[in-house]
Structure formats: structure tokens, C-alpha cells
């Protein structure tokens, strides 16, 4: 019998049902292969074990026949293959457990495989967003938060902008059609922030609009 760990969510990816005036604009998750390659260093790991195997083979070949170096390479290549498979497995689990959501009022990120957390980022708390577009349309949208908003680097990894540990920037990592998603986010944020906020005053006082 199948079991859905997130069956308790009233809307997939959101911890609570959004207000009636909040519109769901987009939902998605990372591309597992791109996440392994860009966030988890898949190519660097493969290259490291490949170079290690070549180096060991060259040492053996310098003192004997070239064919004797081939068996020396195999254990290092096998270890590299196992390491790459582990990274791909972690990336697949991370991608499967992640849901990014853009609504007319906020960005929500349900992230984490073992420890699941949901980040709610209202547009009024996002100062800027940057798009890192890669080949085949995948990319990362990183968001700079305003004020004293504190986000844990370790809890949110790999859903953060790399090399920004002091001021952590949450990010929609390695998403397909990133340029289109960035346009949706930009338009929604601009519309939301430009809306007037009307406050109701006590009788006898004027109604102020900001």
C-alpha cells in the first residue's frame, strides 16, 4: 500500500490553505541531475577519482608494462562510480521531497528530506532576486531577504545561493524553464508590492492609504 508522507498538506507544498485572495501561480521542484551537477559537485567528484586513477596507473606504468597499470585503475574507478551514484541518489531524494511555490503574495519552499521545513517569504520581505541561467533552460533564482530575517545555511542547503554564508539567500535551485519562472516571480512581486494598503481608522479620523 502506497504512503504519502505529505498527505497532511491541504495544498501540496504549503503547510496551510492560502487565503481566498491569494492565487497559486507556479509550483515546481529541482531537476535532480542538475542539482547533483551544480549543487553537489558531481563532475568534480568524478574528475577527482578519474585523475586519481590515472595518476596511480602512471606510477605503475613508469616501472613496468602498460598493461599492468590497468588493474590498478579499476578500484579507483569503482570507488568513483559508487561516490557518483550516492550523490545522484541524494540529489534525487532532495528533488523528490522539494516543492517550490510562487503565489500572488509570497514564495514558499518546502525543503528537506530527513528534516522537512517550509520557508514562507512574502514579497514584502524580498529585496531582490537574481537568475543564474544555465544551458537547456535550467537555472537558479536566488532571493535577497530584507531586515533581520535569519535563515540557516545548514538547514536550507542545497536550496541556497552558493558562497553566501554570511547573509544566506534562499534559492529555487536548478529548476526547469528558469527564465519563465523568474518572469512569473518578477511580475507577481511587482504587482503585490505596488498595491495600496488601506487601513481602517476610528470614526472621525481619515482613512490613510500607503
Query: What's the confidence (pLDDT) of residue 119?
Result: 92
**pLDDT reported for residue 1:** 41
- Asked: is 24-31+98-194 a CATH 2.40.110.10 domain? The reply is no
Long-range contacts of 15-22 (CB under 8 A, 24+ apart): 15/110, 15/118, 18/103, 18/105, 19/105, 21/104, 22/103, 22/104, 22/105, 22/106
- Looking at residue 11, what is its pLDDT? 79
| Block residue for cell numbers 511587482 | 190
Do residues 120 and 143 touch, judged by C-beta distance below 8 A? no
**Domain extents for the chain?**
24-31+98-194, 36-93
Angle, CA of 206, 209 and 210, to the nearest 5°: 140
pLDDT for 206: 39
Query: According to the model, what pLDDT value does residue 62 have?
Result: 74
Whole-angstrom Cα distance, residue 137 to residue 14?
26
pLDDT under 50: residue ranges of the chain: 1-3, 6, 199-210
SS3 of 97, please?
Answer: helix
| Of 159, 75, 163, residue with least CA distance to 118 | 159
Q: What is the mean pLDDT of the chain?
A: 85
Q: What is the pLDDT of residue 8?
A: 55
Contacts of 63 by beta carbon, 8 Å cutoff, 6+ apart:
none
At residue 174, the pLDDT reads 96
- The structure's pTM equals 0.82
DSSP 8-state class, residue 205? S
Asked if 173 and 143 touch (Cβ cutoff 8 Å), the reply is no
Amino acid at each position: 500500500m502506497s504512503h504519502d508522507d505529505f498527505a497532511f498538506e491541504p495544498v501540496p507544498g504549503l503547510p496551510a490553505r492560502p487565503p481566498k485572495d491569494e492565487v497559486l501561480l507556479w509550483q515546481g521542484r529541482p531537476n535532480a541531475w542538475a542539482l547533483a551537477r551544480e549543487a553537489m559537485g558531481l563532475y568534480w567528484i568524478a574528475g577527482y577519482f578519474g585523475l586519481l586513477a590515472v595518476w596511480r596507473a602512471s606510477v605503475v606504468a613508469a616501472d613496468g608494462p602498460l598493461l599492468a597499470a590497468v588493474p590498478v585503475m579499476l578500484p579507483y574507478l569503482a570507488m568513483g562510480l559508487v561516490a557518483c551514484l550516492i550523490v545522484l541518489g541524494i540529489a534525487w531524494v532532495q528533488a523528490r521531497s522539494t516543492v517550490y511555490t510562487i503565489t500572488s503574495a509570497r514564495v514558499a519552499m518546502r525543503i528537506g528530506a530527513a528534516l522537512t521545513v517550509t520557508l514562507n517569504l512574502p514579497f514584502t520581505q524580498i529585496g531582490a532576486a537574481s537568475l543564474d541561467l544555465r544551458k537547456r533552460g535550467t537555472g537558479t533564482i536566488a532571493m535577497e531577504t530584507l531586515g533581520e530575517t535569519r535563515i540557516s545555511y545548514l538547514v536550507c542547503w542545497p536550496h541556497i545561493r552558493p558562497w553566501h554564508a554570511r547573509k544566506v539567500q534562499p534559492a529555487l535551485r536548478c529548476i526547469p524553464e528558469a527564465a519563465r519562472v523568474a518572469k512569473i516571480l518578477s511580475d507577481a512581486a511587482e504587482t503585490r508590492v505596488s498595491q495600496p494598503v488601506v487601513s481602517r481608522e476610528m470614526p472621525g479620523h481619515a482613512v490613510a492609504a500607503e
